[in-house]
């Protein structure tokens, strides 16, 4: 033991800080460190989300335009070439279901799937999905497969 490794005993130096608002004799009485007047000095004060001290908030400064359709249905698009890759990698044989797509990471379990016509399909597949584009349906049937809507 020497001067370079001396330290106070565990638990001996944790001061809890000064208690405020406990009378003038404490040194932190009166305003209890809140200052004089204004919203922040009052009890129950809480700042609104996005409040910028009276400056016009960003949410109101930025121009707004357009329209969001609350009934929009989002589909996860999968090209037929990705389905061909599954066949090439021997992950599927002749049937592709929604569960197969989820297992192979092409879709999530809560997604709606739309098969798109991008790429080339050589394998004869029986494919189940929520929707198909006309070009995808044509490509699947041209390869001798079948497109089934869920």
In degrees and rounded to multiples of 5, residue 135 shows phi and psi of: -70, -35
Q: What is the mean pLDDT of residues 131-137?
A: 95
**pLDDT bracket for residue 93 (50, 70, 90):** confident
Fold classification of 75-149 (topology level): Ribosomal Protein L15; Chain: K; domain 2 (3.100.10)
40 contact partners, CB below 8 Å, separation of at least 6:
34
Q: What is the mean pLDDT of residues 17-44?
A: 90
Among candidate residues 35, 19, 16, the one with its CA nearest the CA of residue 27: 19
Judged by DSSP in three states, 89 sits in: coil
* Four-point Cα dihedral 130, 135, 141, 142, nearest 10: -160
For residues 74-102, one letter each, b for 16 or more C-beta atoms within 10 angstroms of the residue's C-beta and e for the rest, the string is eeebbbbebbbebbeeeebeeebebebbe
Task: Name which residue leads in pLDDT, 17 or 35.
Answer: 35
In degrees and rounded to multiples of 5, residue 21 shows phi and psi of: 70, 35
Question: What does the pLDDT read at residue 115?
Answer: 95
Question: What does the pLDDT read at residue 1?
Answer: 79
Q: What is the mean pLDDT of residues 54-80?
A: 94
Overall pTM > 0.75: no
Question: What does the pLDDT read at residue 15?
Answer: 79
């Amino acid at each position: 033991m020497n001067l370079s490794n001396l330290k106070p005993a565990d638990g001996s130096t944790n001061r809890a800080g000064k208690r405020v608002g406990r009378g003038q004799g404490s040194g932190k009485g009166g305003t209890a460190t809140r200052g004089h007047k204004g919203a922040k000095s009052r009890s129950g004060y809480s700042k609104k989300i996005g409040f910028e001290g009276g400056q016009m908030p960003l949410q109101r400064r930025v121009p707004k335009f357009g329209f969001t359709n609350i009934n929009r249905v989002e589909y996860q698009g999968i090209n037929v070439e990705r389905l061909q890759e599954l066949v090439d990698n021997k992950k599927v044989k002749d049937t592709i279901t929604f569960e197969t797509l989820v297992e192979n990471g092409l879709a999530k379990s809560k997604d709606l799937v739309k098969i798109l016509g991008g790429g080339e399909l050589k394998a004869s597949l029986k494919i189940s999905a929520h929707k198909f584009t006309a070009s995808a349906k044509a490509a699947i049937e041209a390869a001798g497969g079948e497109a089934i809507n869920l």
